[in-house]
């Protein structure tokens, strides 16, 4: 197929990548990183953090008023 007629080509659905256990899809994208980013579906909203992670920082002790 001519290069002008495709953007993403699935070369294989059973490729091996060092550092990844098992098989992966082997796809070719015809474009730069910015063009790839423009195609992505926006991600979900960040999940709320557990209460322990968002606990308020301890406040410094109040100074006694001067007399």
DSSP 18: T
Enumerate residues 6+ apart whose C-beta is below 8 A from 52.
none
- What is the pLDDT at residue 60? 61
Residue with the bigger pLDDT between 38 and 56: it is 38
Please write the tens of the pLDDT for every residue from 34-45.
Answer: 998 888 887 766
Residue with the bigger pLDDT between 6 and 55: it is 6
Q: What is the pTM of this model?
A: 0.45
Among residues of the chain, what percentage have pLDDT more than 70?
69
- Stretch 14-41: mean pLDDT: 91
Enumerate residues 6+ apart whose C-beta is below 8 A from 51.
none
């Amino acid at each position: 197929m001519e290069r002008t007629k495709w953007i993403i080509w699935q070369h294989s659905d059973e490729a091996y990548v060092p550092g990844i256990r098992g098989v992966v899809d082997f796809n070719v994208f015809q474009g730069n990183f910015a063009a790839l980013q423009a195609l992505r579906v926006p991600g979900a909203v960040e999940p709320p953090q557990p209460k322990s992670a968002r606990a308020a920082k301890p406040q410094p002790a109040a100074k006694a008023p001067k007399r």
